[in-house]
Amino acid sequence: MTAARIIETNEGIQSEVTAEIFDEFAKGMRDKGWNGVAEMMASGINGGDILEIGPGPGYVGLELAKQVNPRSFTGCEISPAMIRIAEKNAREYGIPARYVQGNGMNMPFEDDTFDGVVSNGSLHEWENPVQVFNEIYRVLRMGGRYCITDMRRDIGFLKKYMIYFSTKPKEIRPGFLSSLYASYTQEEMQKLLNSSRLKGGVVVKDFMGLSITGEKH
């Protein structure tokens, strides 16, 4: 049986030091290609105005933008420390991304603003995922698509410790475990999705995690 969820945080990654360490970790994940970008592209997000929720240091969205060349790229991030790093990384990529401080549960955007909404590795930190799903519905244009990827809590003992010991830098390892314990199973997530305005979306589980995809009808 899978152990119950342990809530991690509802404030995101706020400390400058943790944000710097996370930047190093996320860069390593980008270099390995373990970042949800393939799932986002496969879900049909292929340009237009794109929003990323919880971009952290920004690599996932910047890699996606490099592939799909959006008309505009916006990140909604709760942590000012992460925004500073993402802005620096976007300058290095040469991508005119705009990062806005905000909470996915109440986003500072008009209705029907985006063609695609993506997020990786942030869902398990959202205090109320259904509220974020409803916000995604609100800010998407009709026919717009979303793809949310995250880890899943039921990967099992072996994979957990395989990932734990290969996670670098080492300082991130306790954070990996607390994030894993805060993440969802496919069944839990499908239930939450079905109780939101994104009902009709699909939750798929893979080796490491979950991806949630669909379209605004």
Ligand X SMILES: C[S@@+](CC[C@H](N)C(=O)[O-])C[C@H]1O[C@@H](n2cnc3c(N)ncnc32)[C@H](O)[C@@H]1O
**Min separation Cβ 16 and ligand X, Å:** 12
Q: Which is nearer to ligand X, 143 or 147 (CB)?
A: 147
CA angle (128, 34, 208) in 5-degree steps: 60
DSSP designation for 176? H
**Min separation Cβ 74 and ligand X, Å:** 12
Q: Which is nearer to ligand X, 1 or 119 (CB)?
A: 119
Of the candidates 216, 83, 61, 50, the residue with the CA atom closest to the CA atom of residue 149:
61
Q: Which is nearer to ligand X, 13 or 203 (CB)?
A: 13
CA distances from 116 to 60, 70, 210 (A): 14, 10, 18
**Min separation Cβ 53 and ligand X, Å:** 6
Q: Is the peptide bond before 174 cis (omega within 30 degrees of 0)?
A: no
Please state, in angstroms and rounded to a whole number, the distance separating the CA atoms of residues 199 and 196. Answer: 6
Q: Which is nearer to ligand X, 40 or 105 (CB)?
A: 105
Rule CB under 6 A: which residues touch ligand X?
Answer: 12-13, 26, 53-56, 59-60, 76-79, 82, 103-105, 120-122, 125-126
Q: Which is nearer to ligand X, 60 or 210 (CB)?
A: 60
**Min separation Cβ 1 and ligand X, Å:** 26
Q: Which pair of structure tokens corresponds to residue 105?
A: 């549960």
Please state, in angstroms and rounded to a whole number, the distance separating the CA atoms of residues 7 and 178. Answer: 8
Q: Which pair of structure tokens corresponds to residue 169?
A: 């830098």
